[in-house]
A and B are shown apart, each in its own frame.
Chain A
Amino acid sequence: MSTPTRRRLFRDFKRLKNDSPTGIMGTPCADNIMVWNAIILGPAETPFEDGTFKLIMNFDESYPNRPPTVRFISEMFHPNVYANGDLCLDILQSRWSPAYDVSAILTSIQSLLHDPNPNSPANAEAAALYRENRREYVRRIRETVEKSWI
């Protein structure tokens, strides 16, 4: 069964394979193109360097008119990531555009890592440390990075 949404997801996958931006990759589940596994490598020269953060993306027939739901399944310590891995990212909510694709989503999340938005905290502790105690913040990030290897 092929629907416009599925066809678009095939296209997203093809684009991602042909020209994937630095340090991100995603692939649909073998038996369900509506669910994707993805990986984001922590950007170099940031505390997130060497992290291999795993995510799951969940699409439905409203894609690309509505964004997918994206969740970290690696443990994440970040001002804009909830304890259960859900993200607080504008492009996945109010600033979504149907012109975005999987590659754009993953790239945005990658840049969110080192460029958090402490004004809309999903993790109050991380946001507070980010503002007030950067050294401790970095230490916690490094812990997250090490956990992401498992």
Chain B
Amino acid sequence: MELNQQNHIDDPSEWPEEFPGMREIDTRLRCPICYELLSGSLMSTNCGHVYCSLCIRRALVTRKLCPCCFEPLDEHQLVLARQLDELVEFFRTSRVDVLNALRHSTSSSFDSISIEESSQIDSTPQETIKTGDKDSNFPANLSKTDRSSPNADTDIYVECPGCQKLIQGSKINWHLDNYCKNSDFADGLQNKKTKYRETTKNKGIVRDGGNNVNLVSNRIDNRRMNQTKPSMIFGATQRKDVLLAKPSKLVYSILSDSKLKKILKDLGLPSTGTRNQLEARHTEWVSRYFANEDSINPKSHNKLLKELAQWEANVQKTASSGFANKRSGVGKKVVDVIGPSFNSEDYLAANADVFDELKLKAQQNKGKRKKADE
């Protein structure tokens, strides 16, 4: 039941074998830690490896080494790879479109490949790709970042009766409902958009790219101008945003419980729980806060707080599940995690069919590889 979720996971293997280069590109635009497309890319100035901001910040909490090459690495040695972020956003927005186009232009050999975006997207890939005016049928705007254009019908612009700005037809109601809130956003978009559309139209690829692309770059501009107001970028999706103070790293061992609680409170975080929970919460918050600052599309602090709470709930859930509650830390000897009642023989007997199947598959691999070697 749980395994069904894997269908929603995008992966370099979705690219047909005929395009090994695309597989490589897809692989290289992913974070070596989470294997997702990079987000808020940070590059080590020491060794050049690139990770998602949150991934590497969290990894460095555990060990101050580059996960790829084991070179010493500290957070101050990380720099934003902004151009890479932009590249990834382009790639993310066109990935599904290109995959679908490939799927239809090549033979049936990879009909079986299911092309899906990540689980956040509920639109299903469309079967038909039409040319010319019917381009709007193209599965467009699957980008996660592109929340502001819910419809594929993005080409028609109308003048807003309120602010006289040009607004996408599909968004005009939303725009008016929000008291023309997004008007300067749309304004900036307008010129670049027409320019971009002209160039892409001629080429006939990435049909909706113009829209997505400019949203992305516009968000970046917005962020540069006004770093402290992520709500500007998100438009009306965040109604009232709290702005929380920048946290700083702490040496927990010199802090008393009450001091730590006060710091958490001042940061706007809950100050209840055990000492370990307080420290873990603070550490995680520091990583999340700064990773959000690195993001091309930062979330509101409200959202960040919710995510932190969710994270804590998940950690506690697994910790109390009884299966992993005796887990050892890095560098310590592995302790008995499966529990004293665990009996290997019983377990093997109960799962005999699972292991038979695994054995079969492992043997098949063996055969496959051998043949390939010959």
Q: Are A97 and B67 in contact, CB atoms less than 8 angstroms apart?
A: yes
In the complex, B314 has a CB within 8 A of chain A: yes
CB-defined contacts of B358 to chain A, threshold 8 Å: 25-27, 37-39, 54
Q: Which residues of B contact A59 (CB under 8 A)?
A: 324
What's the Cα separation between A54 and B354 when bound, in Å?
11
User: If the complex has contacts A22-B366, A39-B359, are A98 and B348 also in contact, measured as CB distance less than 8 A?
Assistant: no
**Shortest Cβ distance from A64 into chain B, in angstroms?**
6
* A119 on interface, CB distance cutoff 8 Å: no
> Are B330 and A66 in contact, CB atoms less than 8 angstroms apart?
yes
Q: A64: which B residues are within 8 A, CB to CB? A: 33-34
Q: Are A99 and B324 in contact (CB under 8 A)?
A: no
* Interchain CB contact under 8 A, B334 and A86: yes
Number of residues from A at the complex interface, CB < 8 A: 67
Is the beta-carbon distance between A93 and B35 smaller than 8 angstroms? no
Asked if A73 is an interface residue, CB under 8 A from chain B, the answer is yes
A98 to chain B, nearest CB (A): 5
Would you call A14 and B11 a contact (CB within 8 A)?
A: yes
Given A60-B319, A97-B68, A99-B33, CB of A69 within 8 Å of CB of B337? yes
CB pair B344 A1 closer than 8 Å: no
Docked pose: A66 CA to B319 CA in angstroms: 14
B354 to A27, Cβ gap below 8 A?
yes
Q: Shortest distance in angstroms between A109's beta carbon and chain B's nearest beta carbon?
A: 13
The answer on a CB contact under 8 Å between A58 and B9 is no
In the bound complex, do residue A18 and residue B362 qualify as a contact, i.e. CB atoms below 8 Å apart? no
| Interface bits A91-120 vs B (CB < 8 Å: 1, else 0) | 011111111010000000000000000000
Most buried by B among A14, A39, A58: A39
- B77: A residues at CB distance < 8 A: none
Q: Answer whether residue A127 sits at the interface, using C-beta atoms and an 8 A cutoff.
A: no
Using C-beta atoms within 8 Å of the partner chain, give the interface range for chain B. Answer: 35 or more
Q: Point out the residues of chain B lying under 8 angstroms from A61, CB to CB.
A: 314-315, 317-319
Q: Which residues of B contact A86 (CB under 8 A)?
A: 334, 336
Q: Which of A1-55 contact B (CB under 8 A)?
A: 1-8, 10-11, 13-15, 18-28, 30-35, 37-41, 52, 54
| Min C-beta distance of A96 to chain B, whole Å | 6
List B contacts of A28 (CB < 8 A).
2-3
B2 and A31: CB pair below 8 A?
Answer: yes
Partner of A10, one of B5, B321, B362: B5
> Which one of B55, B314, B337 contacts A1 once the chains associate, using CB atoms below 8 Å?
B314
Q: Which one of A2, A10, A20 contacts B365 once the chains associate, using CB atoms below 8 Å? A: A20
Q: Report which residue of A4, A24, A101 has the largest number of chain B beta carbons within 10 angstroms of its beta carbon.
A: A4
Q: Which residue of B lies closest to A54 (CB)?
A: B355
Question: In the docked arrangement, what's the CA distance between A84 and B366, Å?
Answer: 28
In the complex, the chain A residue whose C-beta lies closest to that of B30 is A11
The smallest beta-carbon distance between B195 and chain A, in angstroms, is 37
Do residues B359 and A71 form an inter-chain contact, with CB atoms below 8 A?
no
Which residues of the other chain, B, contact A11 by a CB distance below 8 angstroms? 9, 11, 35
B59 and A14 within 8 A (CB): no
Q: Are A60 and B330 in contact (CB under 8 A)?
A: no
CA distance A28 to B4 in the complex (A): 12
A65 touching B58, Cβ below 8 Å:
yes
Q: Known interface pairs A22-B369, A26-B358, A37-B358. Does A98 touch B347 (Cβ–Cβ under 8 Å)?
A: no
B251 located at the interface, meaning its Cβ lies under 8 Å from any Cβ of chain A in the complex: no
- Answer whether residue B164 sits at the interface, using C-beta atoms and an 8 A cutoff: no
Residues of A within 8 A of B194 (CB): none
* Contact (Cβ within 8 A) B2 A94: no
Could you tell me if A37 and B11 are in contact, using CB atoms closer than 8 angstroms?
no
B35, A35: Cβ atoms closer than 8 Å: no
Q: Which residues of A contact B (CB under 8 A)?
A: 1-8, 10-11, 13-15, 18-28, 30-35, 37-41, 52, 54, 56, 58-62, 64-67, 69, 71, 73-75, 84-88, 92-99, 101, 150
For the complex with contacts A14-B6, A26-B358, A62-B315, 16 further pairs of A-B residues with Cβ separation under 8 Å are A8-B34, A20-B365, A23-B365, A39-B355, A61-B314, A64-B33, A64-B34, A65-B61, A66-B327, A69-B324, A85-B344, A93-B332, A93-B334, A94-B330, A99-B68, A101-B35
Ranked 3 nearest A-B pairs via Cβ: A25-B362, A39-B358, A60-B324
What are 21 contact pairs spanning A and B, CB under 8 A? Answer: A4-B34, A6-B5, A7-B9, A10-B6, A15-B35, A19-B13, A22-B370, A24-B365, A25-B362, A28-B3, A32-B2, A32-B323, A33-B2, A37-B355, A66-B330, A69-B328, A69-B338, A87-B334, A93-B332, A98-B33, A98-B62
